[in-house]
Structures are given as structure tokens and as C-alpha cells.
């Protein structure tokens, strides 16, 4: 156990809790094994950064999105380390520059029927000659597909894989869209 192991504990969550605040780290109390006072989420993130830990998962390498649902921390590739988080942030920026909306739209135009996020991400990797794991292609492609969906060019055709908290905090593993 590290000297700065930061842990979070859930407080009572009201039924009408703000979902954004909930998944963003609210409704928790934070403490560090070193005894540093961590009054809120911001203090916990700062303490994680100054002790070389990922500010998203606070060094734990995973993320409890809602009580009982834990996933690998996407910000630090589940390492818990600040250095990896910073490298990954740069990679996200690089993916944003390399993968444009127009590019993804042109790939999507090849599909007549429904297609999966993973199929478009694979097509992007092939076109740009990117090995798997080199850049966060999936998250970038997902953002752009959601943008096309918001613009009315695509419609999501899959149901969520899991309802994490009612119908408002839901999980899609590999969603499908279709062109309108
Ligand atoms: Zn500490
Ligand atoms: Zn992390």
C-alpha cells in the first residue's frame, strides 16, 4: 500500500441526485493514507497530482462510476500514474488533430446498414496505418459519431448494454448507428 493511497467513500445519494455531479466524482468523501485533509473532489485531484497519481482515478487505476459499477480508468490506461495520464492526454489531442469529422463521415458513407463503433474505429486505423493502442481512436471516433448523430445525419440503433442509474446514466459497449 502506498503512502498516498487515496480512497473515496460514497455518501447517501438522493434519488434526484444530479447525474453529472454523480459521475463526476460528487457524493463521495475522500481521504488519503497520509492524513492530508481532502475536503472535496478538487482537493483530492490536486493531492493526486502532487503525489504523481492520475487525477481521474486518484491513483486507484479504476473508476467507480456509480456505486457498484467499476471500470478501468480510461485517463491513465488503468495504471494510476500521472505520467501515463499526461502522455495519454497528449495522445488524445493528437487523435483529435488526425481524425476529423469529414474523414469519419466519409468512412461512414461506405455502410449501407447499421455499423458498430468498433468497425469505424478499425477503418480509421487501417486508413491512417495506426497500430492498435497507439492512439485513443475509439473515444475520438465515438465523439465524432455522436456529433453526426446530434446533427441528424446518424441515428443510434442499439439499446444500452447496461442501465447504471435509471435511464439517464447508461453504458454502451460497442454501440451501433445507421445513416439517416
Ligand atoms: Zn497523501
Ligand atoms: Zn487513472
Q: Which domains does the chain have, with CATH numbers?
A: 6-81 (no CATH), 99-179 (1.10.10)
Separation of alpha carbons 84 and 53, rounded Å: 9
Contact 32, 6 (CB under 8 A): yes
What integer pLDDT is reported at residue 15 of this predicted model?
Answer: 86
Distance 2 CA to ligand 1 centre (A): 9
| pLDDT tens track for 138-149 | 999 999 999 999
pTM here? 0.82
pLDDT at residue 132 in the model = 87
Helix axes 137-150, 82-98, angle to 10 degrees: 50
85-122 tens-digit pLDDT: 999 999 999 999 999 999 999 999 999 999 999 999 99
Q: Which segments within the chain are labelled E, that is strand?
A: 6-10, 28-32, 62-66, 69-72, 115-116, 154-156, 162-165, 169-171, 176-179
Q: How far is the CA of 60 from the centre of ligand 2 (A)?
A: 7
Residues with CB under 5 A from ligand 2 (ion): 54, 56-57, 73, 75-76
Among residues 179, 180, 174, which one has the least CA distance to residue 117?
174
Q: What pLDDT does residue 108 have?
A: 97
User: Looking at the predicted structure, is the pLDDT value of residue 80 above 70?
Assistant: yes
The answer to whether 4 and 58 are in contact (CB under 8 A) is: no
> Burial, 60: exposed, middle or buried (Cβ in 10 Å; 0-12, 13-18, 19+)?
buried
Q: How would residue 1 be classed by pLDDT, with cut points 50, 70 and 90? A: low
Q: pLDDT tens for residues 120-179?
A: 999 999 999 999 888 899 999 999 999 999 999 999 999 898 888 877 788 888 999 999
Give residues with Cβ within 8 angstroms of 176, minimum separation 6. Answer: 114, 115, 116, 117, 156, 157, 158
**What is the per-residue pLDDT across 13-43, written as a single tens digit (0 to 9) for each?**
998 888 888 888 899 999 999 999 999 999 9
Amino acid at each position: 500500500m502506498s503512502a498516498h493511497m487515496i480512497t473515496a467513500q460514497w455518501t447517501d445519494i438522493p434519488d434526484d441526485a444530479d447525474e453529472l455531479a454523480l459521475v463526476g466524482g460528487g457524493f463521495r468523501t475522500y481521504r488519503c493514507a497520509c492524513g492530508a485533509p481532502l475536503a472535496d473532489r478538487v482537493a483530492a485531484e490536486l493531492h493526486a497530482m502532487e503525489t504523481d497519481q492520475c487525477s481521474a482515478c486518484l491513483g486507484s487505476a479504476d473508476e467507480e462510476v456509480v456505486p457498484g459499477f467499476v471500470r478501468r480508468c480510461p485517463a491513465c490506461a488503468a495504471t494510476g500514474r500521472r505520467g501515463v495520464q499526461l502522455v495519454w492526454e497528449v495522445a488524445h489531442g493528437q487523435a483529435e488533430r488526425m481524425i476529423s469529422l469529414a474523414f469519419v463521415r466519409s468512412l461512414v458513407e461506405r455502410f449501407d446498414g447499421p455499423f458498430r463503433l468498433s468497425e469505424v474505429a478499425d477503418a480509421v486505423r487501417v486508413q491512417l496505418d495506426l497500430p492498435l493502442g497507439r492512439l485513443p481512436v475509439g473515444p475520438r471516433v465515438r465523439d465524432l459519431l455522436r456529433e453526426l448523430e446530434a446533427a441528424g445525419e446518424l441515428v443510434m440503433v442499439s439499446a444500452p448494454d447496461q442501465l447504471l442509474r435509471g435511464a439517464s446514466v447508461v453504458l454502451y459497449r460497442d454501440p451501433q448507428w445507421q445513416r439517416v
